Amino acid sequence: MNPVTLQLFNQGRWWDAASLDFHGDQMNSSVTLSYLPSYIQKILSYDRRDCWACSVNAPVTMVPIEYPGWPALLDDLLPAGESRAWWLNYLDVSRRSEFEQNYALLTRACIAPVGNIRVKEAAQNLGTNTQRFPIKSVVQLQHEFLEYANEQGAAVGGATGAGGAAPKLLLMVEGNDVFIDSDFAGRPLQATPYLTKFARNTRSVRDNNILRAEGVFYQALTKILDDTGIETIDTSQMMTHDYQNQVSLWLPRFDVGIKNNRATRYGLESIYSIINAAPGSYKDHFEVIDKVWGRIKTVTQMSSFEFARQYLVRDLLNLIFGNSDNHGRNVSFLKLENDIQFAPIYDFAPMKADPEMVTRLFKWGQDCERSGLVQFNLVVEHLAEFADPVLLLESLREIAERLLELPGLLRALNCPQEILEFPTIAFERTKDKLISYGVYHG
C-alpha cells in the first residue's frame, strides 16, 4: 500500500504533517506514523500533543510511532453509517476486505472530516461546484439537491456524511441558501457551517420524534448547565425544520471558529481514538477515565477534579435523558493551542426509545452499575486519585438539583409526547431516578 499523508490545519493553513506507512493489507498489520522533518522544524516546541499533533497518542517527535494494527485515530476520519455504505458502492469496494475498504475510504473520502485533520491524497479531489439551493430543497430532500450532494460527495468526501448511523450532511448556510464547501478554512467566512441530521432507521414517526427530542434536549441542557462550565450545542443558531412530518436538525459546528477574521478549524479527537480502541468496543468507565486522563493531563488546563466532574456529569445526563448511545465516538475532546478540553455535548438523543434498542457500551465496573442502575455515591469513591469523593459527589448533587425541573422544562420546550411518556426513560420519575443513583436525598 502506498503511504498516506496526514494534513493538519493550524495558523490559517493546511500543513503536511505526517506520513502513514502500512506494513500489510490486514486490519492487524502494523502501521507507522512518522512526522515529516519539514513539519517538525516549524513546530515551536517538541513533543506536542495538542492541535499540532495528529493524535494525543502521537506526539510531535522525530521518533516514528508504531501501531500494532489499524490506528483508531483513522476511524475518526472515515465516513460511517449511510455515508460509508454510499462511498463503498461508489468506489466499488463493498466486497473487498475491511482493510481494503478502509484504505480506499481513507485515500478518497477523507477530504473534509470534522476537526483539523484530513488526508492529502483525498483532498486533491476537492470539488469546485458550490451550487446553491434553498433550505427547503434540503429539508424536502429534493432529487436535485441529493444529486448535487452525491456528486460533491464523490469529490469532497466527509462533506456528504459526518459519520454515524443517521443520515448527516456537512453544509454551509448563508441566508436562505445552502451549499457544500469543504475548503472554507483559512478564508473569510460569510456562511455558517452546519451539521444537518435526518431521522435514523426507516424515518418512522418514532425515529422523527427521537430527532425532534434531540433538538429539545440541547435547549434543556443549555438551561440546566448554565454557569457550570459544561457546554453543549449552540442553540442560538440551531434550527429544526419539519416537512411532512420528516424532521431535519441543523446543528452549528463547534469544530469551526473565527480567528483574525478568517475561518479556522479546531482539533477534535474521540475517546475511542484517544484510547486507541475499535469502533463499538465495550469499555469499563474506570479504565477509560484512567487512560484518557493519563494521555491528556500534561496538555490540558483542566484540573483532575474538573476532568472527573465533567466526565461524571455527562454520564449522569445520559442516564436521566435516556441516551443509551454512550460509546467512545459520542464523547470527544477539542484540541486547541496548548490545551485540550471536552467538546460540547453532542449526539445527545433519547436512544432508549430507538426501535433498534441501543444499549450502553461504556459501563461502570467495581459493582457500581447493574442493569442500568449506577451508584454514583460508590463511583466517586473509586475516583479518589482524581479528587475528593465528597466534592465530586457534591458537584453531581448540584446538577441533580437542577434536573428536578426537567419534566416541566421538556414539556415547556414542546418535547414530543411519545418521548416524554416513554416508559423506559420515565421523565416523570426523574426525582426517583436521581435518588436511586445516589445523587439526591429528597
Question: Do 99 and 192 fall into the same domain?
Answer: no
pLDDT (average), residues 322-326? 95
Measured CA to CA in angstroms, residue 256 lies from 117, 164, 194 at distances of 12, 20, 10
Considering only residues 342 and 126, tell me which one the structure prediction assigns the higher pLDDT: 342
Question: Do 236 and 284 fall into the same domain?
Answer: no
Question: Do 251 and 286 fall into the same domain?
Answer: no
- What does pLDDT average to over the chain? 92
Measured CA to CA in angstroms, residue 310 lies from 35, 90, 182, 331, 397 at distances of 32, 41, 32, 11, 13
pLDDT at 144: 77
303 belongs to a structural domain = yes
Domain end marker among 108, 139, 172: 108
227 belongs to a structural domain = yes
- Its sign, for the CA torsion 193, 199, 200, 206, is positive
Question: Do 427 and 280 fall into the same domain?
Answer: yes
pTM above 0.75, yes or no: yes
Question: Do 82 and 197 fall into the same domain?
Answer: no
Question: Do 424 and 282 fall into the same domain?
Answer: yes
CATH of residue 338:
1.10.1070.20
403 belongs to a structural domain = yes
Question: Do 273 and 391 fall into the same domain?
Answer: yes
114 belongs to a structural domain = no
Task: Indicate the residue type of 228.
Answer: T
The span from the CA of 80 to the CA of 60, in Å, is 28
Task: Indicate the residue type of 349.
Answer: A
C-alpha cell at 65: 510511532
442 belongs to a structural domain = no
Judged by DSSP in three states, 197 sits in strand
348 belongs to a structural domain = yes
Range of the domain at 210: 126-256
Single out the residue of 127, 231, 246 nearest to residue 196, CA to CA. 246
Listed in sequence order, the DSSP H helices in 27-134 are: 37-40, 72-75, 81-90, 98-108, 120-123
120 belongs to a structural domain = no
Task: Indicate the residue type of 22.
Answer: F
pLDDT exceeds cutoff 70 at 163: no
Single out the residue of 229, 121, 255, 214 nearest to residue 416, CA to CA. 214
Question: Do 59 and 101 fall into the same domain?
Answer: yes
pLDDT exceeds cutoff 50 at 198: yes
Question: Do 182 and 210 fall into the same domain?
Answer: yes
Question: Do 187 and 130 fall into the same domain?
Answer: yes
Per DSSP bridges, beta strands 4-10 and 262-265 are unpaired
113 belongs to a structural domain = no
- Cβ 107 vs Cβ 66: under 8 Å: no
Question: Do 168 and 58 fall into the same domain?
Answer: no
Query: pLDDT per residue over 212-253, tens digit each?
Result: 999 999 999 999 999 999 999 999 999 999 999 999 999 999
Looking at the structure of the chain, the number of domains it has is 3
Question: Do 102 and 174 fall into the same domain?
Answer: no
pLDDT exceeds cutoff 50 at 155: no
Query: pLDDT per residue over 49-98, tens digit each?
Result: 999 999 999 999 999 999 999 999 999 999 887 778 878 988 999 999 99
Query: pLDDT per residue over 351-363, tens digit each?
Result: 999 999 899 999 9
Domain end marker among 231, 256, 281: 256
Domain end marker among 108, 143, 164: 108
